[in-house]
Structure 1
Amino acid sequence: MNAATQELEAAGHVEGDGVIAPRSESELLEAARRVSAIAGKHAAAVDKDARFPAEAVAAMRTERLFSAMVPASFGGDGLSLTGVARLCETLAQGCASAAMIYAMHQSQVVCIVDHGANVPWQRAFLTRMVNEQLLLASATSEENIGGNMRTSACAVDLADDVFNIEKLAPTISYGTYADCILVTARRHPDAPPSDQVLIVAPRSTCTLESRGTWDTLGMRGTCSQGHRLTASGKAEQILPSPFSKIADESMLPVSHTLWSAVWIGIASDAVNRAHQFFRNQARGKPGALPPSAARVSQAVTLVRMMQARLRESLASVEAAQAERLARQALQTDDSDAPLTASIGIASDLNMLKLAISQSAVHVVQETLMICGMAGYKNDTPFSVGRHLRDLHSAPLMISNDRIELNTANLLLAQRSATGTL
């Protein structure tokens, strides 16, 4: 028994047969807080040097957070989406880049869990992912196509159950450091751009050639430079579901909710700094509220509204997932699912992304006004400049302009735009 297993056994997480038992949400949150503390110590250096948050990622591995969302049957913790969102919010209060990497990883994990669990190769990979705490990344963007992940120019070349693929991706977040990359491509060379598949490509089956650098305003630690990616492997590495189905049912719901949790976590940390600054000011002049009192109240109110909005979307996504599982148990075709319900969830998730990505930026701008020069400077306990720069990436991650147009199209198919309480 190695030292890590002994430590886990002492904490009560290893059963007699050596299998690690699933942890509760509260245990995972405690682990996330420990990781967040480590991430926070290195966040300024990660931002300054635009480097990968190696210390935070190593801590995630030690705490076995990468498998939090993997079902217990594969050795994971089987944590709900809401629980993972709370982990993301907690991690973001230490380091935004580390938290975003974690959120992106989980959005890839769920694709394999939801759409590959019946394939022997994918099942074996999930078990390996848990045992080795592998970090998953994605390559969905493509040169000449940009961020429209619903179309691909590259295509799978498949012969005798062996595939080859080459993709020019303008961004692959933390691709250099990932243990596996999930890659979108056209199903075959004659397929239209929208007929896509998703390939699970461990680093042993793919190579990356760096194209460009990552010197950005914020989220500098995500190291999202472009790459030329080539991969080959077995046909079983291609998930059997069409990518359109994977995106609608798994990737986008998890991405939009977990990204939102990260943005809320960043804003929360900024508000907590502003709140402490406000309290220090009030202590200096007993009996008189500082001029920033109204802004503090507004900032806290906005964060709580964002949290409530996210909880609502998380509940909708989890309800839809439960309904899909029930249909699968009854062997009911997915085409029997109500179209209006799926359109409603899609538009809700779009609106969630728009609302949180915009509101979080506004909240941190308010905290800057509360803290004044102490927030503007980079070397004080009340600095929020990094928070603001990181959050300016939020409207760009799947462009808000594109999402607004997509939402407008979805609203055309709905009888009611606002719904009821």
Structure 2
Amino acid sequence: MNIAPDHAVLATSALARMARVADEVAAIHAADVDRSGRFPAETFAALKAERLLGVWIPSEYGGEGASLTEIADLCARLGQACGSSAMIYGMHQIKMSSLIRHSDASPWHRDYMRECARDQLLLGSATTEGGIGGDLRNSICAVEVEDGRFRLVKQATCISYGREADAILATCRRSPDAASSDQVMVVCRFGEYTLRQTVGWDTMGMRGTRSEGFELVAEGRAEQIFVQPFSEIAAQSMLAMAHIVWSATWYGIAADTVVKSQNFVRAEARKRPGVVPPGALRLAEVTTSLQKMKAMIVAGIARYEAALIDERLLESMAFIAEMNNLKVATSTLAVEICQQALMITGLAGYRNDGPFTIARNYRDLLSAAIMINNDRILGNTSNLLLMSRVDTTIGA
């Protein structure tokens, strides 16, 4: 499908377009997406129509060259309407960041980036695999290359929105005789792979992401294999981007609970003029927590942007530890914010219906700590801290 640029659409800011999608489409279908555990098809049709899937791609390749702050803001805005939609959008942008940052040495990937912008393609990810315990920096499967073609068979325990993706970026060993950590990433294009479901998706929250497990069998041109080893892709774009984009998504979901809490307190105040509602004090507390979460994300973005122009910082143990800490801190704080909001809204928030419900928000946010399990991240960070100094500066 060829989606020609709509210049009337592009004349409107990306955030304004996202607000339109969030309010007029995502919010309307969010409850059914969650209840049915289905992909938010209406939202992504609207995102494609608003040309928001390729907004990060540089303008010379047909995108709009959005900044990282803008991408985080888009994820947060969508998260206020539908957590599943925002998580899918964020994960797509994580894969897009790898394509944008690591296509310089590959004409094929540069051309594919143009195709993504032109056709507003949705990128999926296959980095997890049975038998490695969620460690994305090791693979069992290997890519085989012969006569300019590749073939790949992967037992992926989780491919979010795999059935709906226009392409899947998969990790694997460089060759059948390579070490498990000697990995590459491959663009598997729709029509060049098959998916056989091995694991279903009936979960507490984030139900619309449809993160099912599949056996992925893919073939294609050898040029579709990224030139850079996956270790570089993970360190220079994917891991930091994941922690920032996920955090922005959780922020959006948490922000929605705070807005609903504020509306609840205001409604209570109108019922009894001159009397301060019991939840007013807690509302002040929860807005402080939300501001703290925002500050963490803003600082994380600034730190990553500084690292992109300083390779020493990008590869430093201190930077990796900071990005790890961002994920752990925001995933924990988001749930705490939701708990605070529940104390304000009481039964009205606990209900699955009504204007003040935060039930879906709560269930979606409970996934945050186990998306790359916080215990695994803390274990990695503790090892880094044995070999590096704790940064005690403010301005550096």
Q: Is the CA contact (8 Å cut-off) linking 2:3 and 2:120 kept in structure 1?
A: no
Kindly state the Cα deviation for residue 30 of structure 1 after the two structures are TM-superposed. Answer: 0.1
The 1:159/1:69 distance shift into structure 2, 3 A limit, reads same
Normalising by structure 1, we get a TM-score of 0.90
How many percent of aligned residue pairs carry the same amino acid? 46
Name the structure 2 match of 1:327.
Answer: none
Q: Quick one: which amino acid aligns to residue 377 of structure 1?
A: R
C-alpha distance after superposition, 1:123-168 (max 9, x if no partner): 1111111111000000000011131100000011112221111000
Which of 22, 26, 31 aligns to 1:36? It is 22
* Cα distance between partner residues in 1 of 2:390 and 2:53: 40
Match of 1:307 in 2: 294
> Offset of 1:388 from its aligned partner?
0.3
**What SS does structure 2 have at the residue aligned with 1:194?**
coil
CA RMSD, Structure 1 to Structure 2 (Å):
1.6
Correspondence list, 1:376-415, <5 A: 376-415=350-389
Equivalent residue, structure 1, for 2:65: 78
Q: For 2:273 and 2:126, how far apart are their aligned partners in 1? A: 56
Deviation at 1:418, TM superposition (A): 4.0
Once residues 174 and 86 of structure 1 are traced to their aligned partners in structure 2, the CA distance between those partners, rounded to angstroms, is 22
State the partner residue of 1:172: 159
Question: Where in structure 1 are there 5+ consecutive unaligned residues?
Answer: 14-22, 325-336
- 1:155 alignment partner in structure 2: 142
Letter in 2 for 1:35: V
Q: Is 1:107 aligned to 2:94, yes or no? A: yes
Conserved? CA contact 1:411–1:417, under 8 Å: no
> Partners in 1 of 2:343 and 2:305 — Cα distance?
38
Does the 8 A contact of 1:35 with 1:60 survive in 2?
yes
Closer, same or farther: CA 366–10 of 1 in aligned 2, 3 Å: closer
Q: Which residue of 1 aligns with 2:210?
A: 223
CA deviation map 1:325-345 (0-9, x unaligned): xxxxxxxxxxxx358x62222
> Following superposition of structure 1 onto structure 2, how do residues 5-404 of structure 1 map, counting pairs within 5 Å?
8-10=6-8, 13=10, 27-37=13-23, 38-324=25-311, 337=312, 342-404=316-378
Q: 1:249 to 1:161 in 2, by over 3 A?
A: same
> Does the Cα contact within 8 Å between 2:3 and 2:119 map onto a contact in 1?
no
Offset at residue 118 of structure 1 (A): 2.8
- Check whether the contact 2:194–2:217 (CA below 8 A) recurs between aligned residues: yes
Distance in 2, Cα, partners of 1:350 & 1:103: 17
Q: By how many angstroms is 1:323 displaced?
A: 3.3
Contact 2:138–2:181 (8 Å) recurs in 1 = yes
Query: Structure 1's 176 and 187: CA in aligned 2 closer, same or farther, altered over 3 A?
Result: same
Once the two structures are TM-superposed, the CA of residue 273 in structure 1 deviates from its matched residue by 0.3
Tell me, yes or no, if the aligned pair for 1:69 and 1:76 is still in contact at 8 Å. Answer: yes
Alignment coverage as a number of residue pairs: 393
What are the ranges of 5 or more consecutive residues in structure 2 without an aligned counterpart?
none
DSSP-derived class of the 1:87 partner: helix
CA shift, 1:211, in A, is 1.3
CA distance in 1, matches of 2:211, 2:164: 11
